[in-house]
Chains A and B, each alone.
Chain A
């Protein structure tokens, strides 16, 4: 579980324009957590706070697990919008190994973990393949494999479907659903596309630095009006039109 306790953030100490204004809410593992809101509502800032790229100006973010180990180190990974801008290695193996090398692990461990992560996506026989030969969808899978190799407890996806074709989008959601069902990794997906909402189990809506909705998909679908700044997905709209 991630717990946001009155978290505020602004880039400049002296400035009064807070990007996040005392946000308090929590996210659970075992479902897809969707984080939505219009441009400039603070989604990306929130994501960067979760993975530790930014530090909260006020308040704190706590990570809690069911079987709590006080010494556990909680690592959160993040997948950015454009796969091309986050692949560091020149070959598949190198890129998956990059994060593991940063942890200063011995070579044998790195090799094992690289093969393990690569095999999740069928990359295990392509470790020496240059990344420039991969398609857009494969590049994104490589990014996910590279983060999974680090065994994170949470992964944040920042608008993951925006660079994919419709076929690759289906594959992407299959992977996410697989991760939710078969691993203990918490999933947060940031999106502004209404059609992504149908994949979410839990929805948090941000507007002007505040959480204005934070509940399950079913509650979201039963709202009278969509929360400010977003639109209902077409399937919910159709339901309503037919019920009227």
Chain B
């Protein structure tokens, strides 16, 4: 619900813009940062943009604590060049990983599930050449996302119920195939029954595979999209210039 309360400008962008810009930014951080200052500046820029757009910057930065250990390890590994410790390559590695993480989590923060799917669907379009329908693929993903929590709950419920019945499965229940049966068979039976009912429900609501479907949400480009592409163009040329002349 915070999606609706938060009206940051970044969230108003077209899903395609969000997707492409984030991919470019990640590629830029991964491949065009030869020294730590560039990586640091890219991070700084990202944070400034967040501030400017009134995104929840603090929360975004706090989420970094989830990967502090990874940052430490990467920093140490990259820092030791030969036998001496190089603080600059250590910083470079840390800022690179940090930048990638921040960009990715910013992307998932500013995109709704619909927007993610819309972007993926467009990415899948080239698959049509090989006979895949991007529409169906996207719908399959929607259903997978929709039913994931349902199945997770169900697995947990059946696991608890079977343990309560005396089945020997604690958290490491994949100990042996036989111990696994009380969980596996009920979960599969339930999944099949669910999918049959879902298939019926979809058919009753007029779903026919491979028939053209309308679209509930469409996204148009607005002025912020043009600004963003323009700014990104400048940064990209600066970074490439720096990369070549370094």
Question: Do any beta carbons of A and B sit within 8 angstroms of each other in the complex?
Answer: yes
Q: Which chain B positions have C-beta within 8 A of A150? A: 205-206
Which among B14-22, B73-81, B96-104, B195-203 touches the partner chain? B195-203
Chain A residue nearest to B197 (CB atoms) is: A85
Contact A78 B204 (CB under 8 A): yes
Distance A102 CA – B207 CA, assembled complex (angstroms):
5
Provided the pairs A85-B194, A147-B205 are in contact, do residues A114 and B214 lie with their beta carbons within 8 angstroms?
A: no
Interface 1/0 per residue, B186-222 and A, CB below 8 Å: 0000000010011011111111100111111110000
| Bound CA span A93–B215, Å | 12
* B93-118 vs A, Cβ < 8 Å mask (1 yes, 0 no): 00000000000000000001110000
Taken together as a complex, chains A and B put the C-alpha atoms of A51 and B106 apart, in Å, by 46
A132 within 8 Å of B by Cβ? Answer: yes
B69: min CB distance to chain A, Å: 31
Total number of A residues with any Cβ neighbor in B under 8 Å: 43
| Interface stretch (choices A55-63, A104-112, A179-187) | A104-112
Report the stretch among B123-131, B140-148, B230-238 that lies at the interface.
B140-148
Q: Does A98 reach chain B (CB closer than 8 Å)?
A: yes
Is B142 within 8 A of A89, CB to CB? Answer: yes
- Which residues of the other chain, A, contact B3 by a CB distance below 8 angstroms? 128
Confirm or deny: B62 has a beta carbon within 8 angstroms of a beta carbon on chain A: no
B200 touches A80 (CB 8 A): yes
Whether B143 contacts A88 by the Cβ 8 Å rule is yes
Closest to A97 in B: B216
Looking at B142, B146, B149, B208, the one whose CB has the most chain A CB atoms below 10 A away is B146
Which A-chain residue is minimally distant from B3 (CB atoms)? Answer: A128
Chain A residue numbers with a CB within 8 Å of B202 are 88, 98
Asked whether B185 is an interface residue with its Cβ less than 8 Å from the other chain, the reply is no
Q: Are B201 and A90 closer than 8 Å at their CB atoms?
A: no
In the assembled complex, which residues on chain A have CB atoms less than 8 Å from the CB atom of B200? 48, 53, 78, 80
Q: Say whether B165 faces chain A, with CB atoms less than 8 Å apart.
A: no
Chain B contacts with A in 1-20, Cβ cutoff 8 A: 1, 3-4
How far, in angstroms, from A105 to B213 measured CA to CA in the complex?
A: 8
Q: Name the one of B114, B146, B194, B216 contacting A100, with C-beta atoms under 8 angstroms.
A: B216
In the bound complex, residues from chain B placing their C-beta under 8 Å from that of A110 are 214-216
Q: Is the interface of B mostly helix, strand, loop or mixed?
A: helix
Q: Which residues of A contact B114 (CB under 8 A)?
A: 90-91, 94
Minimum distance in angstroms from B172 CB to a CB of chain A: 28
CB contact between B201 and one of A80, A93, A103, A105 (< 8 Å): that residue: A80
CA distance A91 to B115 in the complex (A): 12
Asked if B58 CB lies within 8 Å of chain A CBs, one says no
For residue B203, which residue of chain A has the nearest CB? Answer: A53
In the complex, B150 has a CB within 8 A of chain A? yes
What residue of chain A has the Cβ atom nearest to residue B150's Cβ? A84
CB < 8 Å: which of A48, A90, A101, A102 contacts B146?
A90
A129 within 8 A of B: yes
Question: Contacts of B208 on A, CB cut-off 8 Å?
Answer: 102
Cα A106 to Cα B217 with chains together (Å): 10
B198 / chain A contacts, CB cutoff of 8 Å: 85-86, 88
Shortest distance between the CB of A101 and any CB in chain B (Å): 5
The interface centre, meaning the residue of A53, A77, A85, A129 with most chain B CB atoms within 10 A of its CB, is: A85
B215 touches A91 (CB 8 A): no
**Interface residue from A51, A86, A104 paired with B212 (Cβ < 8 Å):** A104
List residues of chain A with CB under 8 Å of any chain B CB. Answer: 48, 51-53, 75-78, 80-82, 84-91, 93-94, 97-107, 110-111, 114, 128-132, 146-147, 150
- 6 nearest A-B residue pairs (beta carbon): A86-B201, A97-B216, A99-B205, A102-B206, A85-B197, A105-B214
